[in-house]
Amino acid sequence: MKIKVRKNLLEENDAIAGRIRETLSGAGVISINIMGSPGSGKTSLIEKLLPFLTKSIRAAVIEGDIASSMDTDRLREQGYEAVQINTDGACRLDANMVWHGISALDLSTIDILFIENVGNLVCPASCDIGESIRLVITSVSEGDDKPIKYPVIFQVADIVALNKIDMIGHTPFDDTRVIRAINDINPRAKVFPTSCITGSGIEELSSHILSLSESHPPRSAAAGGQSTAPQ
């Protein structure tokens, strides 16, 4: 019985995710689901990418957090359009929450929508929120074993940002080992070493996102756009 309820909830989620995908694609908006641990640099990376991207396209951000509006306030102070979603304890955004966030935006004024997911390397991996691109951040301060310990989130990634590379040398961290592990888990994912402090790698990542925004087809269920029960 319990299993059936969960299956129905996942089907309902995926139906809303499909509606999000259709709505965004109809409005010509590409969306990027940003996933990673708390403190890995999700908001910082969005902040660093926005000045590059907004030279040529228009952007908005949906911020998902368990509580608080700190990240949204941070982005609004810099003049960016941002909508806050509080999950009230849930460890990931779901499609219904994102649908509400999208309803608060004027899609005719947006080309790219960043969706910062709740900081977590497990739950967000298994929930389709109707995104076009999945970007996973792992950072030097988390240690070099995260792809091996949390492979599922790396399996679903289109892009991986290896952030805080300015910290290499200050803490034991083998970047070759991390990149090899990500390539083994998901050869399709493109890996970008980045630093939000020095700005290293940000322009390269921003150019890649721009090229995807021109060519990326909507993600289909067959390409991994289908929710599964959290593992």
Ligand X SMILES: Nc1nc2c(ncn2[C@@H]2O[C@H](COP(=O)(O)OP(=O)(O)O)[C@@H](O)[C@H]2O)c(=O)[nH]1
Edge-to-edge strand order for the sheet containing 112-116?
81-86, 59-65, 112-116, 30-36, 133-139, 159-163, 190-193
User: Of residues 17, 20, 29, 42, which one binds Mg ion by CB under 5 A?
Assistant: 42
User: Of residues 18, 41, 130, 201, which one binds ligand X by CB under 6 A?
Assistant: 41
d(CA 104, CA 170): 43
Binding of residue 81 to Mg ion (CB under 5 A): no
Q: Residue 186 in contact with residue 29, Cβ under 8 Å?
A: no
User: Of residues 29, 49, 61, 71, which one binds Mg ion by CB under 5 A?
Assistant: 71
The option from ligand X, Mg ion, none interacting with 164 (CB < 5 to 8 A, set by class) reads ligand X
Comparing CB distances to ligand X, the nearer of 166 and 204 is: 166
User: Of residues 119, 130, 147, 201, which one binds ligand X by CB under 6 A?
Assistant: 119
Nearest-approach distance from CB 38 to ligand X, in angstroms: 5
Nearest-approach distance from CB 39 to Mg ion, in angstroms: 8
The option from Mg ion, ligand X, none interacting with 197 (CB < 5 to 8 A, set by class) reads ligand X
Residue 156 half-sphere exposure toward CB, CA atoms < 13 A: 31
The option from Mg ion, ligand X, none interacting with 147 (CB < 5 to 8 A, set by class) reads none
**DSSP labels for 98-131?**
HHHHHHTS-GGG-SEEEEE--S-SSGGGG---S-
Binding of residue 166 to ligand X (CB under 6 A): yes
Comparing CB distances to ligand X, the nearer of 41 and 151 is: 41
Nearest-approach distance from CB 229 to ligand X, in angstroms: 25
Coil, strand or helix: which one is 63?
strand
Nearest-approach distance from CB 219 to ligand X, in angstroms: 23
Amino acid of residue 26: G
Binding of residue 138 to ligand X (CB under 6 A): no
Name the residue among 170, 172, 230 with its Cα closest to residue 197.
Answer: 170
Binding of residue 142 to Mg ion (CB under 5 A): no
Binding region for Mg ion (CB under 5 A) out of 41-49, 77-85, 135-143, 190-198: 41-49
Coil, strand or helix: which one is 148?
helix
Report DSSP state, residue 79: T
**DSSP labels for 9-33?**
HHHHHHHHHHHHHHHHHHTT-EEEE
Interface positions with Mg ion (CB under 5 A): 42-43, 71
